[in-house]
């Protein structure tokens, strides 16, 4: 029997043979805080479609689910069980997604991008983050979930001999680096939560960030504002002019109340927040998707 990734309830009362996922449960605690009614949503790394089911039930108007793997057989099962209708783009690289959308007359700028469980699998995580950013209109929201290296510096650790992460992973990025990359890519960090690390070296983080017009630089940081930073991401499809929007910002309903802000800017400091507050309580009931779930 084919192994599923998530544990999902089916109409006959059985469950797929996936695993209850703590990081999925942590993401689900944030999903309802983003007002999705009437929004266009892109889910990058849909896997077994647990996320898309919830987004549709939370009022998303148009949904695109993307995965580099072709899991069409699972999509049919979930679409029937949960009455979930969405466009599925699969079997292509993330670099090819924008052209796929254009070929199918689907707009490439979204109000909400869900980017969970993907970044740490990318050969170039900074380029991958730029690719994901290239789909978010100004004022839109990204929910990012990824693993991170427990390190106070601005580092990206090489996964030598698979000692950091026994999977298809090449780098583990520190929270300070992830924070800087997000702000450099014009995303203001508005909320975050963390898991306990394993082996004291790797943890997982959920970040909610909002796309803005300019780099979110600390007052003394002139480098982040240099013109080459914008130019160097253009080969990855990131064109800020194409993402400009007069639509109102997507509404995010409050936060955890557990956050440390950067000095001089309106953006959460990921590393300082983790150092001060540590792991977030996770409702393990949310690690499995059930037929009745709406959030």
Q: What is the pLDDT of residues 63-99, one digit of tens each?
A: 999 999 999 999 999 999 999 999 999 999 999 999 9
Residue 20 lies in a domain: no
Q: What is the dihedral of CA 165, 168, 173, 175, to 10 degrees?
A: -70
Do the domain assignments include residue 96? yes
48 within 8 A of 16, measured Cβ to Cβ: yes
pLDDT at 164 over 90: no
Contacts of 263 (CB under 8 A, 6+ apart): 218
Residue 41 has pLDDT above 80, yes or no: yes
Gap between the Cα atoms of 175 and 1, Å rounded: 38
The percent of residues above 90 in pLDDT, for the chain, comes to: 93
What pLDDT sits at residue 186?
98
Q: What is the pLDDT, as a whole number, of residue 274?
A: 96
Nearest CA-CA partner of 144 in 109, 179, 170:
179
Pick from 23, 31, 10, 22: which is nearest to 191 by CA? Answer: 31
Residue 255 pLDDT > 80: no
More confident residue, 163 or 262: 262
Q: How many CB atoms lie within 10 A of CB 208?
A: 22
Q: Which residues are CB-neighbours of 134 under 8 A, at least 6 positions away? A: 98, 108, 233, 236, 237, 238, 239, 243
226 in a structural domain: yes
Contacting residues for 87 by C-beta, under 8 A, at least 6 apart: 63, 64, 65, 104, 106
The residue range of the domain holding 192 is 41-281
50 located within any domain: yes
User: What single DSSP character describes residue 11?
Assistant: T
- Residue 54 inside a domain? The answer is yes
Does residue 156 form part of some domain? yes
At 210-222, the pLDDT tens digits run 999 999 999 999 9
Task: Specify the pLDDT at position 199.
Answer: 74
Is 4 part of any domain? Answer: no
Average pLDDT over every residue of 277-292: 95
How many structural domains are present in the chain?
1
Burial of 235 (0-12, 13-18, 19+ CB in 10 A): exposed
Q: Where are the alpha helices (DSSP H) in the chain?
A: 22-28, 50-57, 72-82, 97-103, 125-133, 175-184, 227-232, 240-243, 270-277
Closest CA to 147 of 125, 110, 166, 172: 172
pTM of the model: 0.96
Domain with 263 in it: what CATH number? 3.40.50.150
Residue 177 is assigned to a structural domain of this protein: yes
């Amino acid at each position: 029997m084919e192994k599923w990734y998530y544990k999902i309830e089916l109409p006959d009362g059985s469950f797929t043979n996936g695993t209850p996922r703590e990081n999925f449960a942590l993401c689900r605690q944030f999903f309802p805080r983003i007002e999705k009614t009437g929004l266009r949503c892109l889910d990058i790394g849909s896997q077994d479609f647990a996320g898309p089911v919830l987004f549709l039930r939370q009022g998303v108007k148009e949904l695109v689910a993307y995965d580099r793997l072709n899991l069409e057989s699972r999509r049919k099962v979930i679409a029937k069980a949960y009455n979930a209708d969405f466009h599925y783009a699969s079997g292509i690289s993330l670099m090819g997604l924008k052209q796929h959308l254009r070929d199918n007359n689907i707009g490439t700028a979204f109000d909400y991008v869900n980017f969970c469980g993907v970044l740490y699998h990318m050969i170039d995580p900074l380029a991958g983050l730029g690719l994901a950013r290239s789909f978010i209109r100004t004022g839109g929201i990204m929910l990012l979930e990824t693993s991170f290296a427990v390190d106070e510096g601005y580092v990206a650790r090489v996964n030598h001999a698979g000692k950091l992460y026994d999977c298809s992973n090449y780098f583990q990025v520190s929270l300070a680096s992830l924070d800087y990359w997000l702000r450099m890519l014009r995303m203001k960090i508005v909320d975050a939560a963390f898991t306990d690390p394993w082996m004291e070296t790797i943890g997982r983080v959920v970040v909610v960030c909002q796309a803005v017009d300019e780099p979110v630089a600390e007052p003394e940081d002139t480098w982040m504002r240099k013109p080459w930073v914008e130019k160097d991401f253009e080969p990855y499809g990131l064109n800020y002019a194409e993402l400009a929007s007069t639509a109102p910002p997507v509404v995010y309903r409050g936060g955890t109340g557990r956050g440390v802000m950067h000095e001089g800017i309106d953006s959460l400091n990921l590393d300082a927040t983790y150092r001060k507050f540590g792991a977030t309580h996770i409702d393990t009931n949310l690690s499995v998707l059930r037929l009745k779930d709406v959030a």
